[in-house]
Structure 1
Amino acid sequence: MPTLTRLICALSALIAATLMPSAASAACTTATASTSLGSASSYAVGTTQQQGSGSAGLQCDILLAALTAHYIALRVDASTFLLTGPTGQTIAYTASLTSGGTPLTVGNFQNLSSTSLVSLFAGTNNSIPIYFRTTATAGLHAGTYSGFLDMRWYHSVCSLGVLACLAYSNSPGLVRPLLTPPTNWGSGVAVRVNVELIVEKDCVITAPNAGFGSAPLAGSFNPITRTILIRCSAGASYTVGLDDGDYPDNGVRRMHSSGNYLRYEIYKSTTSPDRWGSVGSARRSSGDADTNPNIHDSVTTQGFGYRAAILPGQVTPPPGLYTDTILIDVAF
């Protein structure tokens, strides 16, 4: 009987040990992070703040961290808070741990231990997010603008446990106290957070409508002159083309009204006999502008004058309002 009793006790102990849940384990990790602010035209960057967010380089298991007090702190070791482009131009920016929050500064130690875990690790995969916002900066050349923050994270977070914490993930040198917040945060872990913005070439085009007025015969219309105004991103030389309109016929532009057509053409400059088109030598270059040629500073406007004329020798079509639409394209 004593032998049987011992056997049953041993079996009960074995079953109890087998059903006990194993302790979960995880740790905080740090890694280089990158945030892209996307791409925007030079004029959008010049008038509007560009914003974006990404990881600040620290990720922890917040379920385990909830088992006991967590201690997390941050210091920015170095940053110019500038995005630098290919020509050396810069865009100032701010970085913060909350959207629209207080900007981070170099050397400022921030103890984040009192922040709730859900709020603190609100980024992707339980990472701490970081938010960037640029200062509107005009006159930029197109290209990739990049910057960085060298950050240092300090942490002591539960890394092993189920109902109670059995072990902690501590950054180097941090001495975890029993009851009070740390007084020795150690050396922390250095990470770099990169940020970039792509500035794209863009143009502002002003093209007034062109009206020939009215006349009884196709040959009675006088030529008209107009000017197209264009300004483009700094450093961006370009060419300008005019397409053949909505109703071309064998390379000749036509206006339309109720199934009838009135043939016309547009010529380079106010006196040139050369047709202004959309391909090859039929295009005009920014160096060929009538006003401010070859000035590419994003502020100065180039003017391209042209002459439009109803073509002579055609049969006068029926009376009506004849219209066409010309597409202006700028190529860099």
Structure 2
Amino acid sequence: MALPETASAACTVSAVSGSLGTQSSYSVQTGGAARTKIGAGFTCSGALITLVSSNSANATMTTTNQFKLKRAGSSDAIQYAVSADPGGTLPFSNNSTVNYMSSSTLALLGILDQGNFAPSIYILPQSGANVSAGTYTDTMRIDWVWSVCHGVNVLGICILSENGTGTALVTLTMIVSADCRISVQPISFGSAALVDQFTEKSGSFAVDCTKDSTFSISVTNGNSGASTPWRKMSNGSGGTLDYNIYWADGHTIWNAAAPVVGAAPGIGAAVPGQNYLFKARINPAQIAPPAGHYTDLVSVLVMF
């Protein structure tokens, strides 16, 4: 009768680096970051793996930051979930264990290709984190304990087995980029028979940006390509109507040469709440253009 033997080491454990990519701070806050697949640091290859009920590949997980991505020197953190499968039905928690070689797990994941076995983990950042821009990291420790059969006799008894333990360190990294939100409303001067009968209009642009980020706001020149001394509205038939948009002081033309600096750093509000006042005025001294409907298109730019 053949005695059980120990196979030459076919399973190995190694360190893994996993990138969760670059995500807008608002995408992180609203849960827009996608689930990411990363190697779990354990592979078996080069020898046939025989399916027997005694096979096991147990992964026990802990993390440095308790399943949170953190930025050095900051209290900001992004909670994330880890699972053995893309659907999240085999979740990991602190010190929890998943047996990747259980029959149910193998059936769910379909990852055993006879002599090749390379399980993965799936990382999903959770919504709700209002964080500043920067690089966020965490290190997962996965302790592996395995018992793998590489051959059976005619009675189906494993005669060539491999047992081992090892620790894989998985470094996770996410880069959070700054972003801004802005809300603007059309400016309407209404109608008048004479150009000097148009009244000055007041309004505001609502802005907010990623937590702790600085920004400035400018207004483009419009379709005429110039903002000084006047921007121009057009009736589409060659007629133009001079107008301009000014800072709240009513004198400084608001354009790329004279941006308004944010009064305070962003707070990451999903609905922008910092209001920046402007005034808009039609040139009362211009020669009256033909009657008609005059429009222009300008963009409000937030630079950060």
TM range (shorter): 0.7 to 0.9
**Gapped regions of structure 2 (runs ≥ 5):** 1-7
Amino acid at match of 1:205: I
Q: Does 2:178 correspond to 1:201? A: yes
TM-fit CA distance, 1:216: 1.7
Matched, 1:129 2:138: no
Aligned to 2:57: 72
Query: Taking structure 1 as reference, are residues 103 and 49 closer, same or farther at Cα in structure 2, changes over 3 Å only?
Result: farther
Matched, 1:52 2:36: yes
**Matches of 1:54 and 1:78, distance apart in 2:** 15
Residue 231 of structure 1 is matched in structure 2 by: 208
Bigger helix share: 1
Question: Equivalent residues in 2 for 1:290-301 (5 A)?
Answer: 294=264, 296-299=266-269, 301=273
Could you state the TM-score of these two structures normalised by the residue count of structure 2?
Answer: 0.81
User: Secondary structure of the residue that 1:65 maps to in structure 2?
Assistant: coil
Q: Which residue of 2 aligns with 1:285?
A: 261
Matching residue of 2:163: 170
The equivalent residue for 2:291 is 319
Q: Would the aligned equivalents of 1:27 and 1:158 in 2 still touch at CA under 8 Å?
A: no
* Counterpart-to-counterpart distance in 2, 1:237 and 1:30: 44
Bigger radius of gyration: 1
- Is 2:70 aligned against 1:111? no
- In structure 2, the residue matched to 1:246 is 223
Superposition map of 1:10-49 within 5 A: 27-48=10-31
1:155 to 2:132 alignment: no
Is 1:222 the counterpart of 2:199? The answer is yes
Contact 1:233 1:296 in 2 (8 A): yes
How far did 1:123 drift? 9.7
Moved more, 59-68 or 106-115: 59-68
Q: In structure 2, how many angstroms separate the alpha carbons of the residues matched to 1:71 and 1:135? A: 30
Residues 250-302 of structure 1 show CA distances to partners (whole Å, capped at 9, x for unaligned) of 74311111232111111111x331111113xx000012xxxxxx253223721
Q: In the alignment, which residue of structure 2 is the partner of 1:100?
A: 88
Structure 1 length-normalised TM:
0.75
Indicate yes or no: 2:133 matched with 1:142. Answer: yes
Amino acid at match of 2:245: I
The share of aligned pairs that are identical, in percent, is 28
Structure 1 residues 243 and 126: alpha-carbon distance in aligned structure 2, compared to 1, 3 A threshold: farther
Where relative contact order (Cα < 8 A, 6+ residues apart) is larger, the structure is: 2
* 1:306 counterpart = 2:283: no
Contact 2:213 2:265 in 1 (8 A): no
Q: Distance in 1 between matches of 2:274 and 2:19?
A: 33
The answer to whether the aligner puts 1:83 opposite 2:55 as a matched pair is no
Deviations along 1:234-259, whole A, 9 cap, x unmatched? Answer: 10111101110122347431111123
Q: Name the one with the larger strand percent.
A: 2
Q: Is residue 69–residue 137 contact of structure 2 (8 Å, CA) maintained in 1? A: yes
1:17 is matched with none
Which residue identity lines up with residue 123 of structure 2 in the other structure?
F
One-letter amino acid of the counterpart of residue 69, structure 2: L
| Residue aligning to 1:175 | none
Partner Cα distance (1:210, 1:123) in 2:
63
Could you tell me how far apart the structure 2 residues matched to 1:314 and 1:126 are?
79
Contact 1:59–1:121 at 8 Å: present in 2 too? no
**Distance in 1 between residues matched to 2:254 and 2:188, nearest whole Å:** 18
Query: How has the CA–CA distance of structure 1 residues 128 and 244 changed in structure 2, closer, same or farther, with 3 Å as cutoff?
Result: same
Runs of 4 or more, structure 1, over 4 Å off, are: 116-121, 123-126, 158-161, 163-169
Q: Is the 8 A contact 2:100 2:119 kept in 1?
A: no
CA distance in 2, matches of 1:243, 1:101: 50
Gaps of 5+ in 1: 1-24, 172-187, 288-293
Whether the 8 Å contact between 1:26 and 1:64 is mirrored in structure 2 is: no
Counterpart residue identity of residue 48, structure 2: L
How many angstroms apart in 2 are the aligned matches of 1:64 and 1:129?
A: 20
